[in-house]
Amino acid sequence: AQSVSQHNHHVILSEAASLELGCNYSYGGTVNLFWYVQYPGQHLQLLLKYFSGDPLVKGIKGFEAEFIKSKFSFNLRKPSVQWSDTAEYFCAVNFKAAGNKLTFGGGTRVLVKP
Amino acid sequence: GAVVSQHPSWVICKSGTSVKIECRSLDFQATTMFWYRQFPKQSLMLMATSNEGSKATYEQGVEKDKFLINHASLTLSTLTVTSAHPEDSSFYICSASSRPQQTQYFGPGTRLLVL
């Protein structure tokens, strides 16, 4: 079965530090890739997505992600985090062979200390 | 754009009663809506996929007679938890997309507590 894994369950870092969250997915042919963020008490919001083209995708709030097909990875990065980036981050993959469904990773809770 | 709402945002009910949760796409037509369940400190688990005007497709292990889904229009889907029990207490989230395999936009979720 298709699966998505996020390597870190919790990340704690200070403001201005760089952030990288890992996301790997099982082989499943053609994929669409997403990162969603869930701020405390709020609903899931789309950070960025990759469907095709340039594998380096820029999203909102200074986030970017790189699709490396050979590694089945779609890691999320931000060069300098802010306290307001404290949230839970979810990687999600649409395996086209599975139709419209999204498969979510387990999520990574990020705490940015002021 | 791409706003999805859910109602109610939270509900408390007695065991054995039924609860209906609404999911609406406010500014786009959603050909497909999805229902997820999120347990505390866990990720989202897809329960079912519904396409407007057709029967929902349920994930393995999800009881279709317990979780009734209706997608009667391009802007509204409902999830009814029938004969709710305490183990049904959870956070239920819907999402909607306007085209197959395109971006899903998520609602704010409904927290259900069954006493």
DSSP state string for B68-84: EEEEEETTEEEEEE-S-
Residues 86-105 of B with CB under 8 A from A: 93, 95, 97, 100-101, 103-105
Contact B108, A43 (CB under 8 A): yes
Q: Residues of A with CB below 8 A from B35's CB?
A: none
Q: Which residue has the tokens 């786009």?
A: B28
CA-to-CA separations, B34 to A21, B11, B45, B63, in angstroms, rounded: 26, 20, 10, 15
Average pLDDT over residues B12-23: 96
Tell me if A102 and B107 make a contact (CB, 8 A cut-off).
no
Q: What is the pLDDT of residue A1?
A: 75
Average pLDDT over residues B52-79: 91
Residue B47 has pLDDT above 80, yes or no: yes
Nearest CA in chain B to A43: B108
Chain mean pLDDT for chain A: 93
Region label for B109, one of left (φ > 0), alpha (ψ between -120 and 50) or beta (otherwise): left
Q: What is the pLDDT of residue A90?
A: 96
Can you tell me the distance from the alpha carbon of B57 to that of B71, in angstroms, rounded to the nearest whole number? 12
Average pLDDT over residues B67-74: 91
Q: Residues of A with CB below 8 A from B44's CB?
A: 44, 90, 104
Quick one: CA dihedral B62, B66, B72, B73, positive or negative?
negative
Average pLDDT over residues A47-57: 95
Average pLDDT over residues A56-69: 96
Tell me if B106 and A36 make a contact (CB, 8 A cut-off).
yes
Can you tell me the distance from the alpha carbon of B96 to that of A91, in angstroms, rounded to the nearest whole number? 17
Residue B101 has pLDDT above 70, yes or no: no
Percent of chain B with pLDDT over 70: 97
Higher pLDDT, B57 or B1: B57
